[in-house]
């Protein structure tokens, strides 16, 4: 069962995507404007349930690759995504039938709507992460043996390339080097798959969920309530802490926005301190003693403690109050194969993964 998305829905989709984006995926405001412009010009987009897709259909995710810090300064001109898609179509020698949203996240859950509007193609309801992750092999598609290659990249200057790598990890390495040289961000089309593969690999329902979460954030704010409690109820998550940023260190290297924020507790967390690590996305929250409170792949979602809007890593700044919410990752990510791909060890943390329910037994699910 699908649905239709028009320009007016993009407000909610950008908000919900930014919440599930765990700090990554870029500025939702920019993504919203891009998608709204395309939807206003070309009309609404159809979101299709993958169950209704023919097995031999050609389905392709389109997204932005690079550091969100770069994306804030270097907006896509709107041609790159179309260029990446046509480069891939020309290489495959076939037209694409359905677009896919690769992750939940500010820009990357809105750009596919802009491309879908401009091309007239439907979008599948689902994504490859159920959240955002920093590297391109970190998708459920990899767990289902779907190849990232051939992959097309396009930049703002008119350069394009096609990669054909031996593994999804190699596709990431080669594409990342290309993205850096292209100026830190590129629009890409990758993981071309059949409808049958999409039925296997897609994490279903993500776009519908994103819209619902975004509508909930808007409604709670309208009612002068902080949206945190409603989101925790809807997603089966938990409150991690309320705290203020007192130090932030960041660097954009190797095509990623990396860094660490030191937080001081507020309200019921008065007197406590926390550190929050990120590589494009929030990956690890520790308390003042270095004990982990939430670890990738579980979701660490940040809301502004006052206004309740989602906060992305590049917007972190001294003095900002955050309400951090933990959500359990999709069960695929908590499997052995999933943890190999996106667990704490992959990112260099010495903590073994433990579910956030185990790490925080006292936190009741409000």
- The count of other CB atoms within 10 Å of the CB of residue 336 is 7
Helix, coil or strand: residue 154: strand
- Applying CB under 8 A, among 14, 65, 87, 102 the residue interacting with a copy of itself is 87
d(CA 24, CA 107): 9
- Applying CB under 8 A, among 4, 77, 94, 164 the residue interacting with a copy of itself is 164
The reply on whether position 165 binds a copy of itself by CB under 8 A is yes
d(CA 185, CA 111): 14
Residue with tokens 């500025």: 27
Cβ distance to a copy of itself smaller for residue 127 or 172:
172
Site string for a copy of itself, 181-210 (x = CB under 8 A): xx----------------------------
Cβ distance to a copy of itself smaller for residue 168 or 360:
168
Q: Is the separation of the CB atoms in 251 and 280 below 8 Å? A: no
Q: Is the separation of the CB atoms in 140 and 202 below 8 Å? A: yes
The reply on whether position 160 binds a copy of itself by CB under 8 A is yes
Cβ distance to a copy of itself smaller for residue 79 or 267:
79
Cβ distance to a copy of itself smaller for residue 41 or 177:
177
- Applying CB under 8 A, among 8, 51, 177, 219 the residue interacting with a copy of itself is 177
Min CB(146)–a copy of itself separation in Å: 18
Cβ distance to a copy of itself smaller for residue 5 or 84:
84
- Applying CB under 8 A, among 1, 56, 166, 290 the residue interacting with a copy of itself is 166
Q: Is the separation of the CB atoms in 119 and 42 below 8 Å? A: no
Phi/psi at 189 (5° precision): -130, 130
Residue with tokens 């259909």: 57
Is the four-CA dihedral 56, 205, 328, 331 of positive or negative sign?
negative
- Applying CB under 8 A, among 142, 161, 216, 279 the residue interacting with a copy of itself is 161
Cβ distance to a copy of itself smaller for residue 159 or 363:
159
Cα dist from 362 to 188, 293, 323, 359, 365, whole Å? 43, 12, 17, 9, 9
Q: Is the separation of the CB atoms in 109 and 183 below 8 Å? A: no
Cβ distance to a copy of itself smaller for residue 160 or 279:
160
Segment contacting a copy of itself by CB under 8 A, of 124-132, 180-188, 210-218, 338-346? 180-188
DSSP β-ladder status, 45-48 and 3-5: antiparallel
Q: Is the separation of the CB atoms in 79 and 3 below 8 Å? A: no
Residue with tokens 């945190």: 228
Total binding residues for a copy of itself by CB under 8 A? 21
- Applying CB under 8 A, among 74, 173, 234, 250 the residue interacting with a copy of itself is 173
d(CA 25, CA 310): 12
Segment contacting a copy of itself by CB under 8 A, of 131-139, 176-184, 192-200, 302-310? 176-184
The reply on whether position 162 binds a copy of itself by CB under 8 A is yes
Segment contacting a copy of itself by CB under 8 A, of 163-171, 269-277, 313-321, 346-354? 163-171
Q: Is the separation of the CB atoms in 156 and 183 below 8 Å? A: yes
The reply on whether position 51 binds a copy of itself by CB under 8 A is no
Residues that bind a copy of itself (CB under 8 A): 87, 91, 157-166, 170, 173-174, 176-178, 180-182
């Amino acid at each position: 069962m699908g649905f239709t998305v028009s320009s007016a829905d993009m407000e909610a989709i950008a908000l919900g995507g930014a919440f599930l984006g765990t700090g990554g995926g870029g500025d939702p405001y920019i993504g919203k404007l891009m998608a709204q412009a395309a939807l206003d010009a070309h009309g609404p987009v159809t979101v299709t349930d993958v169950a209704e897709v023919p097995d031999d259909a050609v389905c392709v995710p389109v997204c932005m690759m690079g550091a969100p810090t770069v994306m804030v300064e270097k907006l896509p001109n709107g041609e790159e995504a179309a260029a990446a898609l046509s480069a891939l179509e020309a290489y495959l020698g076939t037209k694409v039938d359905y677009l896919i949203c690769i992750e939940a996240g500010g820009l990357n859950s809105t750009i596919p709507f802009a491309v879908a509007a401009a091309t007239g193609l439907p979008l599948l309801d689902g994504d490859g992460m159920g959240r955002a992750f920093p590297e391109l092999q970190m998708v459920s598609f990899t767990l289902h043996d779907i190849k990232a290659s051939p992959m097309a990249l396009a930049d703002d200057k008119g350069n394009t390339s096609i990669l054909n790598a031996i593994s999804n990890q190699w596709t990431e390495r080669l594409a990342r080097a290309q993205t850096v040289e292209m100026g830190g961000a590129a629009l890409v089309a990758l993981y071309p798959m059949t409808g049958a593969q999409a039925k296997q690999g897609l994490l279903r329902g993500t776009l519908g969920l994103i819209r619902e979460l975004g509508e909930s954030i808007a409604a709670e704010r309208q009612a002068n309530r902080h949206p945190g409690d409603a989101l925790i109820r809807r997603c089966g998550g938990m409150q991690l802490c309320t705290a203020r940023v007192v130090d932030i260190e960041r660097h954009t290297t190797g095509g990623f926005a990396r860094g660490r924020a030191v937080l001081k507790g507020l309200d019921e967390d008065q007197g406590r301190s926390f550190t929050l690590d990120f590589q494009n996305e929030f990956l690890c929250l520790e308390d003042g003693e270095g004990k982990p409170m939430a670890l990738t792949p579980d979701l660490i979602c940040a809301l502004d403690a006052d206004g309740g809007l989602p906060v992305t890593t590049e917007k972190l700044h001294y003095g900002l109050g955050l309400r951090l919410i933990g959500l359990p990752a999709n069960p695929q990510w908590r499997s052995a194969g999933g943890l190999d791909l996106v667990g704490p060890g992959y990112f260099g943390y010495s903590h073994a993964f433990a579910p956030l329910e185990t790490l925080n037994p006292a936190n009741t699910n409000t």
